[in-house]
Structure 1
Amino acid sequence: MADMSNWYQSKSLIVQEDLVDIICKKTCFVVDQQDIDGFLVILASYDISTAKQFLESFFAEYEGDEGVVLEQFVKDWCALAKVCLPRKLLKQRSPE
């Protein structure tokens, strides 16, 4: 635990209180220092640097390879979209 504590303390207060804490609360697969550091880099590439931005952008967390994740995301998104135009367009396209 000391290693995790030292790692956590090495982050700025904004990163600690904003992103690291909310990432730990909202995700199941981002579990250790390396995962969180990698996830912070990915978030930064999307200009996400605050908990508010993360919460506004975060939809769900999926496990698996790209194809499985994309398929599950589209299914979930369509379930929320109900009868909107994107769902109609997706129905017209083959899964490939």
Structure 2
Amino acid sequence: MAKESLEQFKQVISNDVALQEKLRAIANPDTFIEQVVQLGEENGYSFTPEEAAEALAEIGDEEDELSTEQLASVAGGAKPETTVPQTCSGTWC
């Protein structure tokens, strides 16, 4: 049930610029978790600080993963978006 509440609250945050600004202003991780729980309660959601911290850690893990496009680019499988003109000198270009 808490995971469901967290997912729903995550959607609320993604649609509410004022909530996003409140959370962005918090630099301390513990204070951030406390504020997430408090804001969740104020908006009708119930979860513990531990559950919120776990959910945030999962989100962080997801953001650390590279997308398919990023992987292809890193592996050299993507064309650069801009090309640098080549100049020829000698017989080989």
Q: Which structure would you say has the larger Rg?
A: 2
Shared fold (TM-score, shorter chain, > 0.5)? no
Q: How high is the TM-score relative to the length of structure 2?
A: 0.25
- Could you say which structure has the greater relative contact order, defined with CA pairs below 8 angstroms and 6 or more residues apart? 2
Q: How high is the TM-score relative to the length of structure 1?
A: 0.25
